[in-house]
Amino acid sequence: MNELRPSPFNRAGAPAGAAGEVVRNRVLRNTYWLLALSLIPTVLGAMLGLYTGINQIMGASPGLSAIVFLVGAFGMMFAIEKNKDNSFGVVLLLAFTFFMGVMLSRMLGFVFGMGNGAQLVMTAFGGTAIVFGTMATLATTIKRDLSGLQKWLFMGAVVIIVAALANIFLQLPALMLTVSVLAVVIFSAFLLVDMQRVINGGETNYVSATLAIYLSVYNIFSNLLMLLGIFGGNRE
């Protein structure tokens, strides 16, 4: 259960003139830096989950894990948005990415249990990097405002969450596969929309921008990893 997306809490209009250009460049630069920094606690959280056996506990209790995931993630996202204008928001964001890393350890433990697990993880990482680079390029070249897609993408994300929760009890391989494919498509589109908003100056808070982009990247990676595990995993 990985699919999450916060609703748009604050979408400020694009600033104008030279001052707006300065703000836009600063937000974009700070967003990229904070996004890169957020990967460190994500990796640390995943390592903690793997080496302490938390991932096995989550695997044994998927329903409880889903509840912890949803309550913890949405609670922390709400707190981040409330504190996005001060330094505590950055601290909360990094704590959130650590938490997400811990939750990711369940999937990583499953994949690393395969004979080619390390290769699959690196392939998923490379695929995510390609998607990120492609969406970043498109965000700078597409002139049309894509912000109107947000409400449709948000509805799609809600459907994914509901389907993923239902499949905890249904255990349908076809549904799991469908959810993962749709998640990669929807969060890739989210990534494009969010990056265009930052590049065009529609988002003036780098903490909010980083949170949105991080969630897209996280979901793309985790669902690519799921698909690779399904189709390319070699059981030892």
Quote the radius of gyration of the chain (alpha carbons, Å).
18
pTM: predicted TM-score of the whole model, two decimal places: 0.89
On the question of pLDDT at 72 being above 90, the answer is yes
pLDDT digits (tens, 9 = 90+) for 155-173: 999 999 999 999 888 888 8
Q: In the chain, what percentage of residues exceed pLDDT 70?
A: 90
On the question of pLDDT at 64 being above 70, the answer is yes
On the question of pLDDT at 2 being above 70, the answer is no
Q: CA separation (Å) from 75 to 52, 80, 176? A: 24, 9, 26
Instruction: State the Cα–Cα distance between residues 72 and 126, nearest whole angstrom.
Output: 28
pLDDT digits (tens, 9 = 90+) for 38-54: 999 999 999 999 999 99
- State the chain's maximal CA–CA distance in angstroms: 60
pLDDT digits (tens, 9 = 90+) for 7-18: 444 444 444 456
On the question of pLDDT at 26 being above 60, the answer is yes
3-state SS of the chain is CCCCCCCCCCCCCCCCHHHHHHHHHHHHHHHHHHHHHHHHHHHHHHHHHHHHCHHHHHHHCHHHHHHHHHHHHHHHHHHHHHCCCCHHHHHHHHHHHHHHHHHHHHHHHHHHCECCHHHHHHHHHHHHHHHHHHHHHHHHHCCCCCHHHHHHHHHHHHHHHHHHHHHHHHCCHHHHHHHHHHHHHHHHHHHHHHHHHHHCCCCCCHHHHHHHHHHHHHHHHHHHHHHHHHHHCCEC
